[in-house]
Amino acid sequence: MVPSLLFEVMLIGLLGIGSQWLAWRYRMPAIVVMAVTGLLVGPIFGLINPEEDFGDLYNPIISVAVAIILFEGSLNLSFKELRGLGKPVFRISTVGAFIAWILGSLTAHYIAGLSWAVSFVIGGLFIVTGPTVIMPLLRQSKLRPRPAKILKWEGIIVDPIGALLAVFAFEIISFLTSSNPDGSKLLMFFAASIFAAIFGWLCGRGIGWMFETGHIPEFLKSPAVIVVVIFCFTGADEIMHETGLLSVTAMGITLANMGISSVQEMRHFKENITILLISAIFIMLTASLKIDTILHIFSPNIIGYVLLMMFAVRPLSIFLSTIGTGLTTNEKLLVGWIAPRGIVALTVSSYFATVLLAEGYEDASILTTLTFGLVIFTVIAHGFSIGWLAKKLNLSMEGKPGSLIVGSNKFTVELAKSLSKLDVPTIIVDNNWERLKIARESGVPFYYENMLSEQTEYNLDTIPYEYLIAATDSNSYNGLVCTTFMPEYGRMNVFKVSPYNKDEKNAMEIVSKVGGRVLFKKDVTLKDLIEKIDSGFVFRQTTITEQYTYKQYLQEKDEETVFLYLIKPSGQIKYYSEEMRTVPGVGDTIISLMPPNKEKKKIQARLYN
């Protein structure tokens, strides 16, 4: 056992964030790493048992964490962004979710042996997939846009719905299965639910109004939102249990649809606090499990339940709900297989396990075990099979890895055009419509939004792009973009134009300390590149062969030539950077920016020979 409760709090935080880092470093599902970590320090080695050690504080901590996680998820439900998502997404998120709830509940009752009330609660919870587990899988598999869009938006939309469905299912089934059904109690619940929704709406409108009118300073906005979320959850829950989740969901949806810029500016804070809570809560939940509970996962009824959920319930709900939507059989097969349950499902199920046990449903004791089994099996099975299955079904985006360029200007547009000529997927992102005029007139694909906004994260399909280039005229913004997306793209795939300034003594310190590798040369800035374009520099392709070696190419090139990138015969792109050693080989094609006089001489030589 640990020496003190304070030490245990420190250990939980360290293990949670450490597991997240380990998962990122070695490209593993974070939920699996956290599960193994929690089991090792909890039931296996007996170092901690948070449920016992925290005592009466354990359940309130879990409840508050679930409230904040659900609020963060509901902040993504902007009605404006949901328009035009298409029939498949709408049908899967409504009809498909309902079918999955009914089939999942029947499976829980007849296969897992749970009571009707517990079955319908868990059936509602297990319609949730969630963006926290879906998004990494989509990037890993490089799915085509349509199935990727369906899976992504299903996770975003259904995420907060599952918990609310579980709440209503619990109350209705409890009423229907009661030996002495009391209609007034059910009416009271619905009245309290209406109050909770209105209360959440008022909390959302109130904090939104204070943001818009400047009644809350910038440094207090994020803490104020967290406090109001807890107030909103607790206020509704004290009036009637289980309605707090509905209240915070209503608050999040209200804020998401008010169009407040401050809400978007809290993106990083929301992500940070949610990751911290998810990591800590997951360690606490798994560390509190008992050995008997873990072994129970491998009992025939739970194994049977998990297999039916994966191989029958999910595929059936997708195939039935997408009839007449235009999806191909291959797309239905893929979407019908991929449905990993994540941390939200486990944290919310733990919350409901406590509620159900308090109401006298003894079979709810295995709720966490059942959820844990489904989470682990689906994450591992879907995580390791999605890439293979996508290729087998011809739903994987094969071809050269694309490049996402942040910043529209003369140089980036010409760079994008050179990449497009080589069939490399390319897009330019900028939040200034005037700057995008160059890209629009050149026919280069573009996206009009701030790269750091949450709308971009959920609306822009970044799956085809393995490289990110920050090339705006703001060095600080370039550095922030690189730092933000480095965990997602990887340190080797994130670049920025050089912030080097001959007039600044500390220029090299800026170059080395701000995130992202410097493109091309440290002494060639974006301003220099644009000036070269204005002075007539051209993009030129040169293929290295056994007859025309790289050494010969270096001898003949002009001193002002800037090496940009090379493409290998396999289609792999390598951008030039002084921080990375790039040595072209036979068959590689080098793309460089060279002076016009060199090109003119070559043209003249061809004309006179």
CATH code at position 167: 1.20.1530.20
> β-strand 589-594 against 465-470: which pairing, if any?
unpaired
> Are 372 and 470 in the same domain?
no
Separation of CA 485 from chain center: 12
What is the residue whose two structure tokens read 């792109």? Answer: 573
Asked if residue 241 belongs to a domain, the reply is yes
Number of folded domains that form the chain:
2
For Cα atoms 598, 599, 602, give the angle at the middle one, nearest 5 degrees.
Answer: 90
Residue 242 has phi, psi (to 5 degrees) of 80, -10
- Give the H/E segment covering residue 458: helix 454-459
Lowest mean pLDDT: which of 39-43, 317-321, 359-363, 435-439? Answer: 359-363
Q: Which of 151, 152, 104 is nearest to 126 (CA)?
A: 104
pLDDT tens string 131-186: 667 766 776 667 777 788 788 778 777 777 777 788 788 778 777 776 676 677 77
CB neighbours of 224 closer than 8 A, spacing ≥ 6?
Answer: 207, 210, 216
Angle, helix 30-39 to helix 5-25, in steps of 10 degrees? 140
Domain end among 392, 413, 438:
392
Examine the pLDDT at 64 and tell me if it is beyond 70: yes
Q: How is residue 55 written in tokens?
A: 């005592």
For Cα atoms 226, 196, 115, give the angle at the middle one, nearest 5 degrees.
Answer: 105
Examine the pLDDT at 607 and tell me if it is beyond 50: no
pLDDT tens string 558-582: 777 888 888 887 777 788 887 667 7
What is the residue whose two structure tokens read 């016009």? Answer: 596
Q: Which of 337, 363, 304, 347 is nearest to 117 (CA)?
A: 363
Asked if residue 541 belongs to a domain, the reply is yes
Examine the pLDDT at 305 and tell me if it is beyond 60: yes
> β-strand 538-543 against 589-594: which pairing, if any?
antiparallel
Fill in the amino acid letter for 501: N
**Rg of the chain in Å (alpha carbons):** 27
Asked if residue 478 belongs to a domain, the reply is yes
Lowest mean pLDDT: which of 230-234, 444-448, 487-491, 539-543? Answer: 487-491
What is the C-alpha separation between 281 and 343, in angstroms, rounded?
9
> Are 314 and 370 in the same domain?
yes
How many residues are present in the chain?
Answer: 609
Examine the pLDDT at 429 and tell me if it is beyond 60: yes
> β-strand 402-406 against 426-430: which pairing, if any?
parallel
pTM above 0.85, yes or no: no
Of residues 197 and 87, the one with the higher pLDDT is 197
CB 379 within 8 A of CB 340: yes
Residue 580 three-state SS: strand
> Are 481 and 387 in the same domain?
no
Burial (Cβ within 10 Å: 0-12, 13-18, ≥19) of residue 141:
buried
pLDDT of residue 549: 80
> Are 371 and 408 in the same domain?
no
What is the C-alpha separation between 199 and 195, in angstroms, rounded?
6
Determine the average pLDDT of the residues in 116-123.
87
Asked if residue 417 belongs to a domain, the reply is yes
pLDDT of residue 511: 47
For Cα atoms 88, 94, 98, give the angle at the middle one, nearest 5 degrees.
Answer: 125
> Are 153 and 204 in the same domain?
yes
> Are 358 and 292 in the same domain?
yes
Q: How is residue 585 written in tokens?
A: 């080989």
Question: What value does the mean pLDDT of the chain take?
Answer: 80
Domain end among 373, 392, 411:
392
Residue 568 three-state SS: coil
Residue 277 three-state SS: helix
Asked if residue 397 belongs to a domain, the reply is no
> Are 309 and 406 in the same domain?
no
Domain end among 392, 419, 451:
392
> Are 257 and 158 in the same domain?
yes
Residue 573 three-state SS: strand
Q: What is the CATH number of the domain that holds 523?
A: 3.40.50.720
> Are 384 and 361 in the same domain?
yes
Determine the average pLDDT of the residues in 435-453.
83
Q: How far is CA 117 from CA 32, 269, 340, in A?
A: 29, 37, 24
Asked if residue 113 belongs to a domain, the reply is yes
Asked if residue 105 belongs to a domain, the reply is yes
Residue 406 has phi, psi (to 5 degrees) of -95, 115
> Are 353 and 413 in the same domain?
no
CB neighbours of 323 closer than 8 A, spacing ≥ 6?
Answer: none
pLDDT of residue 85: 57
Task: Determine how many CB atoms are found less than 10 A away from the CB of residue 515.
Answer: 17
What is the residue whose two structure tokens read 């003594």? Answer: 505
Asked if residue 32 belongs to a domain, the reply is yes
Residue 566 has phi, psi (to 5 degrees) of -135, 155
> Are 292 and 410 in the same domain?
no
Q: What is the DSSP letter of 237?
A: H
CB 411 within 8 A of CB 533: yes
Structural domain of 164: 5-392
Q: How far is CA 239 from CA 225, 244, 296, 376, 420, in A?
A: 21, 9, 36, 36, 60
> Are 418 and 302 in the same domain?
no
Lowest mean pLDDT: which of 210-224, 311-325, 341-355? Answer: 341-355
